């Protein structure tokens, strides 16, 4: 997976860095796994704007992704590696031995024609999904469940992964991309390897229009607002805005907002690094 840098023939090309898409093998998705997707434009059911800076964007179809990987013991062949407009990672189309087709988040290094498996009998190879109790310590994993059978919730975006560091009793310890160490039940599943498209973090849009294609409208800085609109607004001339805080008045940049009574706090061994 490589990046494309452009010659500055126009202002929009000057700082543009995008994916080369050399890992994509087809441009048409599997029709049986695609459903329509509506845009809200940030409006609720009464047409009132409840989320700012959302609107426009290219029309998208949603690809149904198998986050549960519950077809245990049935081998599947990778048919295609595809682009998904709804996520940063690539997706892979699987053809199972019993004839079923499913999309999964493609791990980095997965090739067309590879055979992958899920369940207790699977080996710890890239793309295979196993229970955390069966994965060797030190293995890098992604697509991690938080509750058994719930489906993957953690380490799903491009280039992310977690490392299985230890097991004690019914819990396994995982070091997450943020640096946080968290305990997860060993009966939860995870997929071996890192998520595809690791160069996504180095991409640069190059122009405002590319953000509009993604459905992002221009964002107004709080310091240029009026006092009625934001705590950092108002003042004479180019006022700095005072202490950084949110629109609702909560301090930003270091202020902890996590609920101390949250049930999952007991599962966090070490908090993420600042």
- Above 90 in pLDDT, residue 274? no
Give the whole-angstrom CA distance, residue 50 versus residue 36. 23
Q: How many CA atoms, within 13 angstroms, populate the side-chain half-sphere of residue 203?
A: 19
Give the whole-angstrom CA distance, residue 129 versus residue 72. 9
Average pLDDT on 13-31 reads: 95
* 3-class secondary structure, 62: strand
Q: Which domains does the chain have, with CATH numbers?
A: 3-201 (2.40.50.140), 226-264 (4.10.950.10)
pLDDT grade, residue 21 (50/70/90)? Answer: very high
- Above 70 in pLDDT, residue 199? yes
Q: From the centroid of its chain, how far is CA 22? A: 21
Beta bridge partners of 29: none
Predicted local confidence at residue 240, as pLDDT: 86
- Above 80 in pLDDT, residue 1? no
pLDDT grade, residue 241 (50/70/90)? Answer: confident
Per residue in 76-117, pLDDT (tens digit) is: 999 999 999 999 999 999 999 999 999 999 999 999 999 999
Per residue in 216-237, pLDDT (tens digit) is: 999 999 999 999 999 999 999 8
Mean pLDDT of the residues in the chain: 95
């Amino acid at each position: 997976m490589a990046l494309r840098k452009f010659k500055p023939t126009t202002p929009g090309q000057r700082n543009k860095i995008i994916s080369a898409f050399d890992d994509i093998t087809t441009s048409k998705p599997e029709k049986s796994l695609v459903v329509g997707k509506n845009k809200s434009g940030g409006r609720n059911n009464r047409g009132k704007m409840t989320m700012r800076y959302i609107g426009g964007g290219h029309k998208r179809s949603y690809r149904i992704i198998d986050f549960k990987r519950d077809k245990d013991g049935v081998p599947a062949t990778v048919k295609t590696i595809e682009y998904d407009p709804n996520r940063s990672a690539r997706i892979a189309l699987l053809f199972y031995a019993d004839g079923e087709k499913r999309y999964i988040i493609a791990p980095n290094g997965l090739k067309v024609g590879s055979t992958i498996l899920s369940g207790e009998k699977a080996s710890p190879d890239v793309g295979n999904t196993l229970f955390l109790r069966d994965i060797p310590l030190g293995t890098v994993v992604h697509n991690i469940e938080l509750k058994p059978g719930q489906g993957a919730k953690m380490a799903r975006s491009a280039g992310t992964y977690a490392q299985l560091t230890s097991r004690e009793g019914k819990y396994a310890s995982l070091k997450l991309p943020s640096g946080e160490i968290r305990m997860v039940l060993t009966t939860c599943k995870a997929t071996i390897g890192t998520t595809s498209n690791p160069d996504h973090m180095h991409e640069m849009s190059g122009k405002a229009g590319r953000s509009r294609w993604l459905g992002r409208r221009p964002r107004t800085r709080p310091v240029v607002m009026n006092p009625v609109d934001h705590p950092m607004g108002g003042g004479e001339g180019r006022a700095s805005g005072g202490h950084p805080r949110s629109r609702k008045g909560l301090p930003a940049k270091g202020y902890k907002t996590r609920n101390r009574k949250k049930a999952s706090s007991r599962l966090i061994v070490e908090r993420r690094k600042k």
